[in-house]
Structure 1
Amino acid sequence: MRVDLRVKHDIEARRAAIGLFERGHGFKSAAKALSVPRNTVRQWLYVYRSFGSEVLLSMDGKQTRYTFEQKVAAASAVVDGGMSKRDATEAFGVMSLAPLQRWCALYREGGAEALRPKPRGRPRGSGPKSRGRT
């Protein structure tokens, strides 16, 4: 059986956390009861409140890709519109606060163009120049 090493905590821990959240526990008491780091349980609570238990149980360690339009809309709602970051994660379907905070910082520095995707990797033609035979 293949084990996904990107997921640090199994589905049973997340299922137990959902049960604690439904009984009114916060992330601190849930983290203590489950012996899971607080920040992890805090992230689970954000996902649970924003998207529900199905999404929390189906999290598989893969990063979600967001379009340029989603990034600009979420960042401008927070920076220009005064929306809270938590409300923006729910409204725009952002799975975590970390990318939203990064987008807001970039948006403040360079506007919407700072959020445009940048080319990755080595530029074409930047390899070593071939020498002629001597």
Structure 2
Amino acid sequence: MRHGTDVRVEAVRCFEAGYAEKAVGRMLGISVTIARKWLYAYRALGKEALFVTGHNTYPHELKVEAAKAVIEGRMTKPAAMKAYGLRSKT
């Protein structure tokens, strides 16, 4: 885990307080890109998503079904991520 649990806990606290990624990045001394990814995961999957480390691989069929749901307008990206258990928005 590149950024420790303490930083992630503080990021969750900031997100719950309504801070956006730029403010969180500045306050915690992390890049805005990382803060943006964390905020997206937080909004889509909840605070637990920030504490899951490691790289997950997903079956091709699952990714296709999730992408299809988004493209067809049945779900938003965050809703599809949650419904299909995907952590990555790509």
Residue matched to 1:107 = none
Q: 1:43-58 maps to which residues of 2 (within 5 A)?
A: 43-57=37-51
Matching of residues 59-98 of structure 1 within 5 Å = 59-60=52-53, 62-79=54-71, 81-82=72-73, 83-98=75-90
TM-score, normalised via structure 2 length: 0.83
Q: Superposition RMSD on alpha carbons, in Å? A: 1.6
Q: CA deviation at 1:74?
A: 0.9
Q: CA deviation at 1:12?
A: 0.7
CA distance in 1, matches of 2:64, 2:80: 12
Give percent identity, aligned residues only.
Answer: 36
- Within-5 A mapping of 1:106-117: none
Say which structure is richer in helix.
2
Q: Which residue number corresponds to residue 30 of structure 1?
A: 24
Q: Give yes or no for contact 2:69–2:80 (8 Å, CA) kept in 1.
A: yes
Higher Rg of the two aligned structures: 1
Equivalent pairs, count = 89
- For 1:84 and 1:22, how far apart are their aligned partners in 2? 21
- 1:33 deviation in Å? 0.6
State the TM-score, normalizing by the size of structure 1: 0.59
Tell me, in whole angstroms, the C-alpha distance in 1 between the residues paired with 2:83 and 2:22: 25
Task: Note the residue ranges of structure 1 that are not aligned, 5 or more in a row.
Answer: 1-6, 99-134
